[in-house]
Structure 1
Amino acid sequence: MRISVIGGQEADERASRVAFEVGREIGARGHVLICGGRTGVMREACRGAKESGGLTVGILPGDDLGDVNEFVDIPLPTGIGYTRNVLVARAGEAVIAIDGQLGTLSEIAFALISGRPVVGLGTWELRDGSGQEAPIERVEDAVSAVDACEAAVAAAGSG
């Protein structure tokens, strides 16, 4: 399975730890981790995935391979700036959102629009204009996050 991990390019200690644990769990289960390929949550998730033998893909906003973090196996330079957020959100069969700022918010929106299940760990809480809560499954830890991705993708495949 391909799982996109999204989150802030600047991550505090908690977000960094959670991202690392999520990446480690993704790698341990043999899934491919997709992200924006840079710093913060992206770097820590890739570091965790590599520690557990996983494969990582980084979809970069620019053309410069020097911007990729050292834990990305397959860097994909796009040269399209923040538009790459659409690619990150759609490349995974499911998305795990950790912390994050406006870039993460855009990726959550693109994932939901595209019908991708979104699992949240300390990230945005969203409501539409009528007050309906966005379908983001909230979990407390890395194991639950990857479990939720697997269950959502399995349910979509059987439905």
Structure 2
Amino acid sequence: MRVSVVGGGAVDESEYEQAREVGRVLAERGHTVVCGGRTGVMEAACRGARDVGGETIGILPGEDRRVANEYVTTPIATGLGNARNVLVVLNGDAAIAIDGSTGTLSEIAHALDTGRPVAGLGTHDVPGVEAVETPERAVEYVESSV
């Protein structure tokens, strides 16, 4: 399964480690991480997945694939700016949201609008988002909901 991991581009150490753990658990269970391909939560989730040999897809806002974080195995340039947020969630079967601001909120909304389950770790309190306390529980929720 592909799981979109969405969240803030600038995060503190605790949020970074949560996202890294989400990526690791997803990859250990055979899932591919889909994200926006840049910094913060996106980098951390990709790093966690790559730490255990997992695959990662980064759907980038710009036209240059080379700006993806170093842990993205498949960078996809879109040239769409933040409009690429919808592509991030459309290319996952479920989503895990960690922290984040308005960009993350838009990704959550797109995921919910398209019927994808969303687990939330310290993110927006939105109807339809399953608030969870740990990275493991986030992965368990999306696995059981697809």
State the TM bucket, normalised to the shorter chain.
over 0.9
Q: What secondary structure does 1:119 align onto?
A: strand
Give the 5 Å matches for 1:111-130. 111-126=111-126
In the TM superposition, structure 1's runs of 4+ consecutive aligned residues that sit over 3 Å from their partners are none
- In the other structure, the counterpart of 2:128 is 135
Q: 2:83 is matched by which residue type in structure 1?
A: T
**Cα distance, 1:65 vs. partner?**
2.0
Q: C-alpha separation between the residues in 1 aligned to 2:90 and 2:14?
A: 26
Give the 5 Å matches for 1:17-36. 17-36=17-36
> So what's the TM-score if we normalise by structure 2?
0.98
Q: C-alpha separation between the residues in 2 aligned to 1:20 and 1:76?
A: 21
Q: C-alpha separation between the residues in 2 aligned to 1:15 and 1:90?
A: 24
Q: C-alpha separation between the residues in 2 aligned to 1:142 and 1:85?
A: 22
- In the other structure, the counterpart of 2:137 is 144
- In the other structure, the counterpart of 1:64 is 64
Q: What secondary structure does 2:100 align onto?
A: coil
- In the other structure, the counterpart of 1:156 is none
**Cα distance, 1:58 vs. partner?**
0.2
Q: C-alpha separation between the residues in 1 aligned to 2:77 and 2:66?
A: 10
Q: What secondary structure does 1:100 align onto?
A: coil
Q: 2:77 is matched by which residue type in structure 1?
A: P
Q: C-alpha separation between the residues in 2 aligned to 1:124 and 1:151?
A: 21
Could you give the per-residue CA deviations for residues 106-159 of structure 1, whole angstroms, max 9, x where no partner exists? 000000001100000000012xxxxxxx11111111111111010000xxxxxx
The answer on 1:9 being equivalent to 2:9 is yes
Number of positions where the alignment pairs a residue of Structure 1 with one of Structure 2: 146
Q: C-alpha separation between the residues in 2 aligned to 1:27 and 1:74?
A: 15
- In the other structure, the counterpart of 1:108 is 108
* Residue segments in structure 2 that go unaligned for 5+ positions in a row: none
- In the other structure, the counterpart of 1:130 is none
Q: What secondary structure does 1:5 align onto?
A: strand
The structure number with the bigger radius of gyration is 1
* Residue segments in structure 1 that go unaligned for 5+ positions in a row: 127-133, 154-159
Q: What secondary structure does 1:38 align onto?
A: coil
Identity %: 55
Q: Aligned-pair RMSD on alpha carbons?
A: 0.7
Q: 1:34 is matched by which residue type in structure 2?
A: V
